[in-house]
Structure 1
Amino acid sequence: MRTERNLARLDRVFTRLDREPERPAHLVVPEMSRHRIALFAGTLAFYVAIVWAVLITSWLVRLDWQVMFFRPYQQWPDIHAFVDYYVVLGQRGPTAVMVAAWLGWRSWRQHTLRPLLALGVSLLLLNVTVGAAKIGMGRLGPHYATTVGANEMWLGGDIFPSGHTANAVVTWGILAYLASTPRARRWLSALSAVTSLGVGMSTVYLGTHWLSDVLLGWAAGLLILLALPWFEPLIARAETWLLALRDRLRDRLRDRLRDRRGRRTRARRPATAPVRLTPVPEREEPPAREPVAAPRTRAPAYLAPGPHTVRADRTPVTPAGSRRPAPYADRSPRSTAPAARPVSGG
């Protein structure tokens, strides 16, 4: 009976990863439609209106000072610790790392570099546009204000527009921009809007930004997200070039590994003599030598000359005398009796 092994939770996760599909045939790429162009134009007009209202020191600047004097961090001190952690969702470093990790996994799953390239283009646009506006207008923040009721412009600050708010709009909004289904796009758009709104109000609560800074930060981030479809052809060309470069590097590395493996195989084989391609001249045979007679060996002295005879053909020879030695002279023969000994009397 065949039994299947019960897969652990981690094994099930890796099993699903092994079943990842190939690159989708039709990726949903947002286009610059009329609706999007209208939203872009309206957001740009709102951006210009906020800047103009601050420049002429309108009612918006007076509202900024009223909120600053209200000091929300003193009115609700219980949520101060939570707001300190929540405002991290608008910092560029931590949010970029988190979103890049998620989009990197999506790029690997869908076999495309578009999510990572779209994130890179959006962050580049964010740094250029928002950074240029901060340095160009040079507005001071609430903690560094010098004159009550003034707009605090061109005084060397870098607070207008709010970088935390714009970064929250772009970083979390790119997830909705790259969503694969309309339903996911709607949910992620609402989530990113709430997150960026909370980040902007957190900076106002902590007193690090004016309210007008937050409004301009929202507009700046939304302009970048609405303008991304114009950069889709550039993203597609960059993806094609990077994939071709990857293939060339992979082929070159494969060839190097193959050559190295071939060198090791040839080094392990025994060395063989090289094959000579030039014809070898025929050698002349040496002249034949006269046969030399074998040296004559002298027969040993104990061998009789003449032909050797077999033992059975020899003539028996009887020795002339007995070969027994002669008896000793001082001994008497055994057959003679011993001489009588004299008897002496007493």
Structure 2
Amino acid sequence: MRTDQILTRLERVFARLDREPERPAHLQTPQMSRHRVVLLGSTLVFYLAIVVAVLTTSWLVRLDWQVMFFRPYEQWPQLHAFLDYLVVLGQRGPTAVMVAAWLGWRSWRQHTLRPLITLGVALLLLNMTVGAVKLGLGRLGPHYATQIGSAELFAGGDIFPSGHTANAVVTWGILAYLASTTVTRRVLSVVSAVVSLSVGATTVYLGTHWVSDVLLGWSAGLLILLALPWFEPLIARAEAYVFELRELLRRRAETGRMAAPVATALMPLLSAGGKWQLRRTVDPVGEPAPAVVPTAVAAPAHQAVHASPAGHTPAPRPAAIVPGRPHVIRSERAPVTPVGGRRPAHTERTAARGAAASPVAGS
């Protein structure tokens, strides 16, 4: 007779997703090649040049003020509504959630945690590097500038470099970094570059960042993407640790399921006789020997129930010998006469008996 397995709706959905049976062999980890090292060095030089140009109040600061006075949001007001939505692609919260959902799906399908761990490492580096420079330089934005022509540094601001721009470079660029084929990597690289450039230009249009903020944000995000291959060994160790922890928890769960029938079989004995405890018995020679004996702790001593095999009469338990005191049986003990009566004396009854025994004189 043919029996077909009835799948639930959720199981049918997962069956259609065509999950790969194991980690694909074509997934390669990017290496720190010579070309990547040259790009990293060039980007770092550009990064430092922008910082020095702002610190020395050079032509770049004058350009910042010229664009600010131009006010692009007033020149093209019809773009304002659209660009308000476009700049969301650079906000860390929404973009991180969207990219993490896609990378989580890839991790589940390919049996690897590398995409999610790589995203976490990249965002951690972004927060550390960009956040430290923001707080260290303390530059004010265009809307809060106080002195014309000044770089507005060390004034308690947090605008330099642009966090929206750097986040757009890292969040969307991580998709190209984790691409499994060369064609996909090139296409995603172009898409992430367009998105990050658009977000940076949008912040300048809205007047929330200087031009130099956007330039430094682009270079900061690119530095993180170029330096990620150095962290691949750390990512691999983290993935191996998570998988080992999962196997350990799985073995513990299986051990608990195997121990469940044993606990169920012992439950009637524990409920009928109390609890099991360790006591010491005395063998016929007189030497104490430890033994685990089921004892009914909840019942009195003369009503204790001892577990024994079926059809076997338990042997009488030898009495414990207290050292330093002779042991005699009950028949050899000398009778002891109790002193005094058990019932208390009644003075009124004794006085009444005495009065009845001696007649009154003269009657």
TM-score higher than 0.5: yes
1:212 is paired with a residue of what secondary structure?
helix
What is the alpha-carbon distance in structure 1 between the residues aligned to residue 219 and residue 313 of structure 2?
A: 85
Cα gap change, 1:273 to 1:124, in 2 (>3 Å): same
| Contact residue 139 and residue 158 of structure 2 kept, 8 A | yes
- Partner residue, 2:256: 256
- Partner residue, 1:161: 161
- 1:275 corresponds to 2:309: yes
What is the alpha-carbon distance in structure 2 between the residues aligned to residue 35 and residue 194 of structure 1?
A: 22
Shift of 1:121: 0.5
- Partner residue, 1:115: 115
Structure 2 length normalisation: TM-score?
0.71
- Partner residue, 1:179: 179
Greater Rg over alpha carbons, structure: 1
- 1:30 corresponds to 2:30: yes
- Partner residue, 2:239: 239
Deviations 1:196-236 (A, max 9, x none): 10110111011000010000000000000000000000111
Q: Number of residues paired by the alignment? A: 276
Per mean C-alpha deviation after superposition, the further-off stretch among 219-228 and 256-265 is 256-265
- Partner residue, 1:199: 199
Deviations 1:112-132 (A, max 9, x none): 110011001000000000000
- 1:68 corresponds to 2:68: yes
- Partner residue, 2:52: 52
Cα gap change, 1:11 to 1:278, in 2 (>3 Å): closer
- 1:91 corresponds to 2:91: yes
1:151 is paired with a residue of what secondary structure?
coil
Q: CA RMSD in A?
A: 2.7
- Partner residue, 2:223: 223
Per mean C-alpha deviation after superposition, the further-off stretch among 222-231 and 84-93 is 84-93
Shift of 1:146: 0.6
Cα gap change, 1:205 to 1:112, in 2 (>3 Å): same
What is the alpha-carbon distance in structure 1 between the residues aligned to residue 241 and residue 10 of structure 2?
A: 36
Cα gap change, 1:196 to 1:265, in 2 (>3 Å): farther
| Contact residue 308 and residue 314 of structure 2 kept, 8 A | no
Deviations 1:220-264 (A, max 9, x none): 000000000000001111111111011101111222233234433
Q: Percent identity?
A: 72
| Contact residue 26 and residue 180 of structure 2 kept, 8 A | no
Q: Which amino acid aligns with 1:130?
A: V
| Contact residue 83 and residue 202 of structure 2 kept, 8 A | yes
What is the alpha-carbon distance in structure 1 between the residues aligned to residue 268 and residue 109 of structure 2?
A: 42
| Contact residue 100 and residue 116 of structure 2 kept, 8 A | yes
What is the alpha-carbon distance in structure 1 between the residues aligned to residue 265 and residue 197 of structure 2?
A: 66
What is the alpha-carbon distance in structure 1 between the residues aligned to residue 17 and residue 181 of structure 2?
A: 21
Higher RCO structure, 1 or 2 (CA under 8 Å, sep 6+):
1
What is the alpha-carbon distance in structure 2 between the residues aligned to residue 221 and residue 19 of structure 1?
A: 33
Structure 1 length normalisation: TM-score?
0.74
Cα gap change, 1:72 to 1:12, in 2 (>3 Å): farther
